[in-house]
Amino acid sequence: MEKSLPTTEQAPQAPPKHHVRRTVSTVLLVALTLYLLAPLLGDSASRDVPHHATKKASCVQPPPLFPATTDEKLSRMYDFVGTEAFKNATIIRHSGAVKIDTSSFDDMGPVGEDKRWDTRYAFHDYLAETFPRLHKGLKLEKVNTFGLLYTWKGSDESLKPLVLMSHQDVVPVPASTVDAWTHPPFSGHYDGRFIWGRGSSDCKNQLVAEMETVELLLEADYKPKRTVVLSFGFDEEISGREGAGSLATFLIDRYGKDGVAAIVDEGAGFSEQWGQVFALPGVAEKGYTDVHITVRYPGGHSSIPTDHTSIGILSELISKIEAVQYRTYLADESPMLGLMQCGADHAPDFPKTLKKLLGKRSSSAKTCKAKPDLLALEAAKMGRPVKYLMQTSQAVDVIEGGVKVNALPERTTVTVNHRINIGDAPEMVWHHLTALAKPIAEKYNLTLHAFDGTKEAPLSISLSPSDTTLKVAPVTPTELDVISPYSILAGTTRAVYGEEIVVAPGMMTGNTDTRYYWPITKHIFRFGPGYDPTTDAGLGNIHTVDEKVSVANHIGMVKWFTLFVQNMDEAALE
């Protein structure tokens, strides 16, 4: 998976005992009421109301949210997650999952034909052996052979289900890099602090944490009112068509459009910015399009060359493409605006210039695309990871041309990858590339076939999109003035990690398996809720050498899911 902002990780803090736990609806409604009444009640109200409830700001933080249930078994269960006994056991379970190589390759053939899919059989066997209560208590359905769908049926069929996602597969480890690993890539080695190996952080940790959660709740005799579904794809690293694509279709057929309460999948985590630690659940994803550009030009012997070859002509077009970047701007629906507002309200080192520009933006009408977006341009100075949360990116990634040194290349092709900003669309990218290619085609007397279905033709420049084109994802609602999945997520996060954590909208530059689930709910969160501030592992070296995850991070994730499942079960969602 490709993620957005860098993350840091933090060890969880012990929450208050069950006798101080509060219901979802009571906590949120009381805080909201006090916040709204504070200006009318004057100083007497401000003396009795917590700071986060009286502060007039657009990034009001909910109080920590604990389940109302005072069941002693559930209380002991939560405490058990913080013990050495659970720590040692979950290390073994997660390590064992990492040891099974479930790599996905770009050239995988059909399921049932390409034997490289079959590593999933061993992984399924391992899960069944490792989590026996879950496999006994939940209904397991296998979709398209390897997609795992576990259903924990709730007692109230009127409540929309909660879907927890992850994926079984990992990116391959190139043979040339194996010697560079501190510990072998499929060893699942534990060094006293980290579990090492491919998939330890992306994202078998989240899959194992979700299964640990259900196993623990079953052991505590928990009986949910709201159905809980675990949906695990098996080819996310190669776009997820066979896995999540099949699972999502299956679930949409079962529950219908907007038939699910919320989805949590892998995604953004925690980041320290402007002197403040933020939890950044991904509530939006950039769009995607690969564009293939092919130049067909006469060949011949290199001893009598034409003035320009297909390589030279395409190189001229590539230079023009790279010379013109897309506009840096913040659409009004961009979650980056919410993040910056939270920074202005809560972060001690939030830049004064940004705060001033943000204030102007908040008090004015919608931005005009004809004018520079000064707020976005100022924020972009923080670096490329931030800049490309506000700009469509382009990257010339693959080029092929020429087969012999004494033969003029008759065909040269390049692939340009684009991640599309909120507010833009694939068609905008295609129109832009067409405008750049047109004068070059005219200059060399070539026919231009731009997105007309013609992939190649003699004496031409052809532009065509790949079949992986994806529009910008719908933005998940992040209102805190109602009881919502977002407010429950935020309250749960502050319950596990403390009120010093600020929850703000996050954005993904890459895409997760949730791309297939858009019709089933508008409440999609791409969030890795594990956190450990004692490490500098960030995203855990995902997709590269020495991928790892801290055990404290992993345990924090288990704690988060155990609370979130219960909090969602108690919530009176609209």
| CATH for 436 | 3.30.70.360
Note whether residue 29 is domain-resident.
no
Q: How far apart are CA 89 and CA 467, in angstroms?
A: 43
Helix (H, G, I), strand (E, B) or coil at 248: helix
Note whether residue 43 is domain-resident.
no
Q: Are 338 and 284 in contact (CB under 8 A)?
A: no
Q: How far apart are CA 18 and CA 22, in angstroms?
A: 9
Last residue of one domain, picked from the residues 430, 465, 500: 465
Last residue of one domain, picked from the residues 420, 436, 465: 465
Q: Active-site residue 236, yes or no?
A: yes
Q: Are 282 and 4 in contact (CB under 8 A)?
A: yes
Q: What is the pLDDT of residues 480-537, one digit of tens each?
A: 878 999 999 999 999 999 999 999 999 988 889 999 999 999 999 999 999 998 875 5
Beta bridge partners of 230: 150, 164
Same domain? For 102 and 134 the reply is yes
**How many other β-carbons are positioned within 10 Å of the β-carbon of residue 161?**
25
Q: How far apart are CA 90 and CA 555, in angstroms?
A: 8
Phi/psi of residue 292, each to 5°?
Answer: -95, 125
Q: How far apart are CA 531 and CA 222, in angstroms?
A: 26
Same domain? For 331 and 397 the reply is yes
**How many other β-carbons are positioned within 10 Å of the β-carbon of residue 44?**
8
Q: Are 353 and 378 in contact (CB under 8 A)?
A: yes
Output the domain CATH number for residue 530: 3.40.630.10
Same domain? For 184 and 294 the reply is no
Beta bridge partners of 195: 190, 549
Note whether residue 305 is domain-resident.
yes
Note whether residue 55 is domain-resident.
no
The candidate with the shortest Cα–Cα distance to 293, out of 196, 414, 179, is 414
Q: How far is CA 166 from the centre of its chain?
A: 11
The candidate with the shortest Cα–Cα distance to 267, out of 48, 573, 476, is 476
Q: Are 173 and 524 in contact (CB under 8 A)?
A: no
Note whether residue 266 is domain-resident.
yes
Q: Which of 101, 169, 424, 547 is catalytic?
A: 169
Last residue of one domain, picked from the residues 437, 465, 493: 465
Same domain? For 356 and 499 the reply is no
Q: Are 448 and 461 in contact (CB under 8 A)?
A: yes
The per-residue pLDDT string of the chain (574 residues; one tens digit each, 9 = 90 and over) reads: 543 333 333 333 444 444 334 444 443 333 333 333 333 333 333 323 333 333 344 899 999 999 997 789 999 999 999 999 999 999 999 999 999 999 999 999 999 999 999 999 999 999 999 999 999 999 999 999 999 999 999 999 999 999 999 999 999 999 999 999 999 999 999 999 999 999 999 999 999 999 999 999 999 999 999 999 999 999 999 999 999 999 999 999 999 999 999 999 999 999 999 999 999 999 999 999 999 999 999 999 999 999 999 999 999 999 999 999 999 999 999 999 999 999 999 999 999 999 999 999 877 655 566 789 999 999 999 999 999 999 999 999 999 999 999 999 999 999 999 999 999 999 999 999 999 999 999 999 999 999 999 989 999 999 999 888 999 999 999 988 789 999 999 999 999 999 999 999 999 888 899 999 999 999 999 999 999 988 755 556 888 999 999 999 999 999 999 999 999 999 998 6
Pairing of strands 460-465, 411-420: unpaired
Q: What is the pLDDT of residue 11?
A: 36
Same domain? For 263 and 385 the reply is no
Please give the structure tokens belonging to residue 122.
Answer: 């061993």
Interior/surface letters 196-225, b for 16+ CB within 10 angstroms, e for the rest: bbbbbbbbbbbbbbbbbbbbbbbebebebe
Same domain? For 179 and 247 the reply is yes
**How many domains in the chain?**
2
Same domain? For 497 and 558 the reply is yes
Same domain? For 437 and 319 the reply is yes
Q: Which of 236, 237, 373, 569 is catalytic?
A: 236
Same domain? For 241 and 311 the reply is no
Interior/surface letters 431-451, b for 16+ CB within 10 angstroms, e for the rest: ebbbebbeebbeebebebbbb
Same domain? For 277 and 292 the reply is no
Note whether residue 5 is domain-resident.
no
Give the list of residues 6+ apart from residue 185 with CB closer than 8 angstroms, or none.
Answer: 173, 178, 197, 198, 547
Q: Give the C-alpha distances (Å, rounded to integers) separating 367 from 358, 361, 363, 371, 460.
A: 12, 8, 11, 8, 40
Residue-range definition of the domain harbouring residue 386: 287-465
Helix axis angle for 204-219 and 72-81, nearest 10°, is 150
Cα torsion through 364, 368, 369, 374, rounded to 10: -40
Q: Is the pTM of this model over 0.85?
A: yes
Note whether residue 57 is domain-resident.
no
Same domain? For 231 and 109 the reply is yes
Note whether residue 41 is domain-resident.
no
Same domain? For 274 and 335 the reply is no
